Structure 1
Amino acid sequence: MTALAEQINRSVEAMLTYVETQTTDQAADILKVPARDYLDPVRFEREMALIFKRLPLMLALSIELPNPGDYKAMEVMNVPVLITRDREGRVHAMLNVCTHRGAPLVKPGQGSANRFSCPYHAWTFHNDGRLLAISDRAKFGEVDKDCHRLKQLPCQEVAGMIFVTLTPGLEMDVTSFLGGMLDDLESLGFANWHFCGNREIFGANWKIAYDGYLEGYHFAAAHPETVHPRTFSNIMHFDGFGPHLRIGFPQRSIGSLRDVPREEWYRHQNDGYDFVRTLFPNLSIFVAPEIAQIALLLPGPTPGQNRTILTYVTPKPPADEAEREKMEMMASFFGDVTNQEDYVLGLSIQKGLEAGALDHVTFGRNERGNQYFHRWVDHYLKDDPAAPPPSL
């Protein structure tokens, strides 16, 4: 049995015990987070500078750029990002900004192109960022092409995911950043899944939105007809890997696993229990047998707003029109639940905090994942490499 399989078996054993004893995974005490942490523009800018501009962000799945020449252009917190796959199959990330006068090279979206021509003056770049041609060069003057490459961003592809750091020149080690979470992500096999598409939703402060992915305490009240009929409310198990989490949610059918050999429990994801995997600071992954929803939270443009990109993938392409329609229905269901039952409520929470109703947001002992997340946010904002990291 692999180490990962045994990890999951221990999580299942804990969830079975919680259900049978009507308990849950708990922190040592409650945690109070100042309400201003969700409101303060100065803190928001520090979060952007010390977290979102420094850490690796998962901005694309490998299957979104399956072939040489494929690209994805997107706005990430006011940073125009262009991700490409060159003719050798390597991925690159760069600023989607022409090095002549600063015009965007390509509109947000996905496509295929071996080169990009600026719409302003037609300077042309290879899809790895090299400047290939300057229009009417004889009249323009001498230019060092090497000095006019597109500005490169640190970029690595692991576990079927493409990670980018938004600050040029920073060192990136995604393997170390993911730590013990990497084996779990690789086991999902996203590099071999089928890309279905993206959907955007809009919500409150990024931490309010992210808080909703980190606990099941709200299932009975917020999801009475969608999540709660399948999954127990307020029963969770947390495994931490650095700042990342794998959160176990027992289904109402989990008791049937007592009739299954313990060494086989890890094979029963979505059959007795579910996991939500979160990658700090802004990614949530829920994998169902037929489809997965991957939520990428992008803060801003103000402290009270976020834009979330929901990406949907399936283990294999739909075989026919009926399967395609079923896939679209499932994606719509997951997206509607996230938007209408979580994000709409989050926007109301934002209004309540902006009204000055609370001095602190209180996280109970049962909301262990939220406590862990907020301690990691504070850890990065200290900007002190010698500071010990939080523990779960």
Structure 2
Amino acid sequence: MAMAMAMAMAAAEPLPAVAAAPGARLESVRALAGLFREAQHREMAKESVFQDLLEILRSTSSEIEQAYKDSCELVDLDTSLLLIAECFRCLRNACVECARNQHVMRFLIVTDYFLKCPELVEALYAKLSNQERVTLLELMMVNVCEKNLHTNEEMNVFMRHADFLAGRFQEKYEAVLKLTSAEDADEEALVAIRLLDVLCEMTSNNGQLEYLQTLPGLLETVLDTLRLTHLAGKQTVNVFTATHAVTGQEEVLHPAVDFKSHLIRLIGNLCYKNKENQDKVYELDGIPLILDNCSIDDNNPFVNPWAVYAIRNLTEQNERNQELIAQMEEKGLADNSALESMGLEIEKRDDKLILRSVRKKPS
């Protein structure tokens, strides 16, 4: 009982001063993370504890950032990186089923103090577990959604993050295939899903899109991922199999829900007013693949609108892509009803098939 009381008191006490050695701070934060595994300690944590964590994160990230900028070696660099990782572990534990602490955590991230240093993010990412990486990516998502870039420095930071995240997705995209057999969501697969989510948001801002459209290999990887998951869904019945529940609107809670929709969304974004990427999708047989994913699918409830968007971006001022879809429809390789649902139709002019938009009549 005395031990429990002592631990509870520790959860309410301030952490060591910022001036303390990284090792001492790491030990205290690690102990606090252990305390927050229990609901009673999460509920009784004072806001001052989170402010202390904030100061530790700020000071440690500033020290690492300055060391990178000055190209000098930081004493206890590994300990400092572990300290930041442990702060995230502590925050994650504190937020489990605790709305009050979740609100505080959101405040910490919206300040985005450490996201201003790409080198720090990359070094920290390498130290985190897959579960912690998911948390970090969700926090970066908040930052991307709320951040408008105004200065060259902000844009440079964004480009570094985009390069890094695209690279990690290209490394880990095949991990999502583990979801075809796993009963529980695989943590490595969850990382790939969150990476895709962040990239979708990054490409949704016109001011940042042009840079992302030029990232080497990103479009090819997204197409490969769509092809692999689509094939996996046809080979066996799993989360990537197109399903349609006739009898009810059952909510699907699997983390891979809308994964294929997001892949098609990202393809559409990367091809927006970009002839080179439009042609690349043609050359990689991506257009038939997208059209084959237009059917009603409870696992991807928004797939049709994103397919409409992608096809429009692929065919805009691109006659070769338009002709391909028209030829597919004529040969019965493209579902005419799917094209109609997209507001498109095939018209024959002078022995040439034309894909054109149809203005829908008001209902």
The verdict on a shared fold, with TM-score over 0.5 as the criterion, is no
Greater strand share, 1 or 2?
A: 1
Larger Rg: 2
TM range (shorter): under 0.3
TM-score, normalised to structure 2, is: 0.23
